[in-house]
Structure 1
């Protein structure tokens, strides 16, 4: 929850940039209204309101935490292999215990696509229960592969 304001701001900026790119393309092909439409009409103000609402809501449903069906600390090598298949590399492995693994996107393209919200954390508590948390799409993909190949 501590990253919520940062994520909301990133998505608001991302949506606004995306809209202006689309608007510029429409203007280039001669099928769009002038830019002043955004600030002088109710449609433009409604669009800005929708951008704010989506930016505020996305961090709630764009990130998740899932329980894994195995002890990830005991299968750290397998977890690293599966995360590499998903396009992630382990970071800080020498400074972190096996029960707290942190991964980040291996390629710059993936980092850009994820707007630098590319970290996935796998933790194991004292009872041997493991959780994976991060971007919903990547967490679901990794958890499915781990369930298929490891558990």
Structure 2
């Protein structure tokens, strides 16, 4: 929850940039004859900005997840690293966290950009040996599925 405002602001900026790119593309291709001031002078423009704010505020709730894994990740660190590498992630801070907390970030710059630099996937194991994966919903669910398929 401490990253909620940052994630909401990033998503709002992402949506606004996407809108302006699409607006410019439509004007360049001749599909939109309206000027950009239509965004601030009409009720449809204000409605669009309201929708952007609503989506930006909701995104952090739906865009990130925490899932339980079906195996103890701390006892299978090498296998977890191998599967996460197949998912496009590399482990960071291995020497400071040990096997109970595995931190991964996107290995490529392209993946970081598409994930808006919210590319951190964390796998934790509690005292009872139950492991959880937490991060971007799409990537965490994909990694949890692959981890469950190849390891468990």
- The separation in 1 between residues aligned to 2:29 and 2:123, in whole angstroms, is 48
The corresponding residue for 1:61 is 62
- The separation in 2 between residues aligned to 1:27 and 1:63, in whole angstroms, is 35
- The alpha carbon displacement at 1:18 in A equals 0.2
- The separation in 2 between residues aligned to 1:116 and 1:92, in whole angstroms, is 17
The corresponding residue for 1:122 is 123
Unaligned runs of 5+ in 1: none
SS at 2:133 equivalent:
strand
- The separation in 1 between residues aligned to 2:18 and 2:123, in whole angstroms, is 32
Number of equivalenced pairs: 151
- The alpha carbon displacement at 1:99 in A equals 0.3
- The alpha carbon displacement at 1:31 in A equals 1.9
The corresponding residue for 2:100 is 99
SS at 2:127 equivalent:
coil
Runs of 4+ in 1 over 6 A off after TM superposition: none
- The separation in 2 between residues aligned to 1:31 and 1:37, in whole angstroms, is 15
- The alpha carbon displacement at 1:95 in A equals 1.2
Does the alignment pair 1:21 with 2:38? no
- The alpha carbon displacement at 1:94 in A equals 1.0
Once the two structures are superposed, residues 13-65 of structure 1 have per-residue CA deviations (whole angstroms, 9 ceiling, x without a partner) of: 00000000000011111221110100000000000000000000010000000
TM-score between both structures, scaled by the size of structure 1: 0.99
The corresponding residue for 1:137 is 138
- The separation in 1 between residues aligned to 2:29 and 2:111, in whole angstroms, is 31
Once the two structures are superposed, residues 87-139 of structure 1 have per-residue CA deviations (whole angstroms, 9 ceiling, x without a partner) of: 00000001112000000000000000000000000000000000000000001
CA RMSD in angstroms, aligned pairs only: 0.5
Unaligned runs of 5+ in 2: none
- The separation in 2 between residues aligned to 1:73 and 1:48, in whole angstroms, is 45
